[in-house]
Amino acid sequence: MPTKKMLEKFAELAVKIGANVQENQPVVVRSSTETTELAREIVKAAYQAGAKRVEVQWGDEYVSRYGLDFMDLETLKEVPEWVVKRAEHAIESNACFISITSPVPGLNAGVDPVKTQESGKAMMRKLSFFQTHMMGNKAQWTIVAAPNPVWAKKVFPDLTDEDAVEALWDAIFQASRVTEDNDPVQAWETHNETLTKHNEILNSYQFETLHFTNSIGTDITIQLVENHVWAGGNEITTNGVMFNPNIPTEETFTMPHKFGVNGKVVATKPLNYQGNLIEDFWLEFKEGKVIDYDAKKEKQTLKNLIEFDEGSCYLGEIALISHDSPISNSGILFFNTLFDENASCHMALGRAYPMNVKNGIHMDPEALAAIGYNHSMAHSDFMFGSEDMHIVGKTKEGKEVVIFENGNFVI
């Protein structure tokens, strides 16, 4: 375990920079039973920051696995009314949300994919109002990570359980800009300023398309929606509170046009989806839609993702990250999107973020659809950046601007 001091610093970061808990605001902490120490520190830090009431919603990945094994499909598709009520109550009371992610890689291997798919769909359907609330930035929310032994061993297979957990804590702290002698809150204020500057440069170009090429077969053109907004780092809720949805974050991202994606993209890191690891895969798009794909491992899982719903075969996000970034430089493959997506350029299949278009968070679903927004209950990031990634942006006037050379920003 890390020292109490490091845990306190990390918790303070989640509360002050992540969710930015406001005076007298209720807080919902979502934690795995694997990460109780951090959850407790976050609860304490939230009260110290003025939280009115802090509620912890515990989850346990192993309990969930038994559920998938033993419940029949019909039962799995029933979402208890109290789960819906709980989410409604959190929204009504203007709560903010702090999630601690601690995935157990490979835990769901061997589960009937229909069960995973159908129970996931039922849950997302019932709670789509909640997802709309969060993704529309109606409340502050943040995700931080903490290790568990299985995940740690997956990242550091040569270490003992205990050493692996220790090493993963160190890697998480480093990626999250928490060190023994820094003030992480201060460090993040500086980091947010840097990301904001990058967004401003890209926003001023208003590129019509981006063309991505590299030596392993990626050759894809992505049209961006008109009046798109590059975002990344801190965000602002509809009532004006700043927050950082992801700790760590290195990305600057925007909205692709749902029907404007053409070409092939080759993934450069595995994708953990529904507890399974999809490896060595590629996707081919035509007019926005995935028309062909393959994976050396877990092709069925990739199929599940692509066929999840009507929008999950279209893109909802394109994100740029220099190959020369702290997480990428650490050389560690975390097997967790929160980290790996910040090591590499990525795109997401599924739902787009309304804030990635001017005035988007105030548009209704019809208005969003009309500008090329992709609606889906899924949102899965996958990484395709490489050290030789080349990106050229093309403006409305036809002017070409090199954005990335040899994997890094050059503008």
Q: Applying CB under 5 A, what is the total number of residues that bind Zn ion?
A: 6
CB nearer to Zn ion: give 222 or 348: 348
What stretch of H or E contains 224?
Answer: strand 219-224
Pairwise CA distance, residues 343 & 252, whole Å: 12
Contact 277, 333 (CB under 8 A): no
CB nearer to Zn ion: give 12 or 317: 317
Pairwise CA distance, residues 140 & 51, whole Å: 13
Tell me the closest approach of the beta carbon of residue 343 to Zn ion, in angstroms: 12
Contact 288, 376 (CB under 8 A): no
Widest pairwise Cα distance in the chain: 59
3-state class of 278 per DSSP?
Answer: strand
The reply on whether position 317 binds Zn ion by CB under 5 A is yes
User: Binding to Zn ion (CB under 5 A): which residues in 216-255?
Assistant: 251, 253
Is the preceding peptide bond at 245 cis, omega within 30 degrees of 0?
A: no
Which of 61, 208, 235, 381 is in the footprint of Zn ion by CB under 5 A? 381
Tell me the closest approach of the beta carbon of residue 380 to Zn ion, in angstroms: 8
Tell me the closest approach of the beta carbon of residue 48 to Zn ion, in angstroms: 31
CB nearer to Zn ion: give 235 or 381: 381
The reply on whether position 383 binds Zn ion by CB under 5 A is no
User: Binding to Zn ion (CB under 5 A): which residues in 112-151?
Assistant: none
Tell me which residue has tokens 């798919």.
117
CB nearer to Zn ion: give 25 or 142: 142
Tell me the closest approach of the beta carbon of residue 251 to Zn ion, in angstroms: 5
Which residues share a beta bridge with 318?
254, 347
Pairwise CA distance, residues 313 & 225, whole Å: 18
User: Binding to Zn ion (CB under 5 A): which residues in 68-107?
Assistant: none
CB nearer to Zn ion: give 13 or 348: 348
User: Binding to Zn ion (CB under 5 A): which residues in 250-279?
Assistant: 251, 253
Contact 51, 25 (CB under 8 A): yes
Pairwise CA distance, residues 334 & 388, whole Å: 22
Tell me the closest approach of the beta carbon of residue 101 to Zn ion, in angstroms: 14
Q: Name the DSSP class of 22.
A: P
CB nearer to Zn ion: give 11 or 202: 202
Tell me the closest approach of the beta carbon of residue 379 to Zn ion, in angstroms: 6
User: Binding to Zn ion (CB under 5 A): which residues in 319-378?
Assistant: 319, 348
Binding site for Zn ion (CB under 5 A): 251, 253, 317, 319, 348, 381
